[in-house]
Amino acid sequence: MAAKTKEMVAKGIDVTDSTQVLTPSGVQELTRKLEQHRQTTGVQMALVLVRTTGGEPIEDYSMRVATAWGGGSKERDDGVLLLLAVEDRRMRLEVGYGLEPAIPDAAGQAILDSSRAHLRRGDYDAALLSMVDQVIQRTAHVKPGQRASAYSPPLGSNALLMYLVVMMAGLLAGWLCGGTISWKQQLAGLEDEGDVDADAQIGGDEEEPRG
């Protein structure tokens, strides 16, 4: 086991970077965004960066981390956990069932896909800020104590067009990879050649952790 799960993440910690690939200012900005979003919506998100899962499948590893973390409301099941294994070049997004309307399959895949350019450059700050901003945007309408409804992109701007493009890209990625993308568990592989391939992970049948 690469690290003791309980030592990696705690419910009161928004950003856990055991790799030190994030800059101090990046950690500060990510923490500020996550804390502000939690206060406004009640949605809790945690970021965990590790060097490796030690050979353990990332889907199993991230599930252990999510269970140990126990973030989000137990009633709403609205926790979000983003795990990045730097040396393994893998990442995974765990989303509570209560946020399914706001972050469906294709959207979760697209959020991971959006970090490709930043990760190719080794800019972890920008990659995580981009993904966090998208989660925040898709859940900004959630009210504390209420369950999430479907995300509606702003009208009267290019946001609707971009939303449709991103959703179609996510659906296409899932189709090309074969099988069904689990809305709760999204897996992206970061290829050594400098490009990034997103792989759909089928894993929706297992029991999901609740905070």
The token pair at 13 is 């910690």
Instruction: Give the number of other CB atoms < 10 A from CB of residue 93.
Output: 24
The partner residues of 46 in beta bridges, in order of sequence, read 81
Distance CA 49, CA 39 (A): 23
Look at residue 101 in the predicted model and tell me its pLDDT. Answer: 85
Look at residue 1 in the predicted model and tell me its pLDDT. Answer: 45
Look at residue 181 in the predicted model and tell me its pLDDT. Answer: 31
In sequence order, the 6+-apart residues with CB closer than 8 A to the CB of 83 are: 48, 49, 50, 58, 61, 62, 65, 91, 92, 93, 94
In sequence order, the 6+-apart residues with CB closer than 8 A to the CB of 107 are: 138, 151, 166, 167, 170
| Tens-binned pLDDT, residue by residue, of the chain (211 aa) | 445 555 566 667 899 999 999 999 999 999 999 999 999 999 999 999 999 999 999 999 998 998 888 887 777 888 899 999 999 999 999 998 888 888 887 888 899 999 989 998 999 999 999 999 999 999 998 888 777 767 666 655 555 556 556 555 555 555 444 332 332 344 444 544 333 333 323 233 334 434 4
Look at residue 37 in the predicted model and tell me its pLDDT. Answer: 94
Look at residue 24 in the predicted model and tell me its pLDDT. Answer: 97
Look at residue 19 in the predicted model and tell me its pLDDT. Answer: 94
Which among 63, 7, 12, 55 is positioned nearest to 35, based on CA atoms? 12
Q: What is the pTM of this model?
A: 0.72
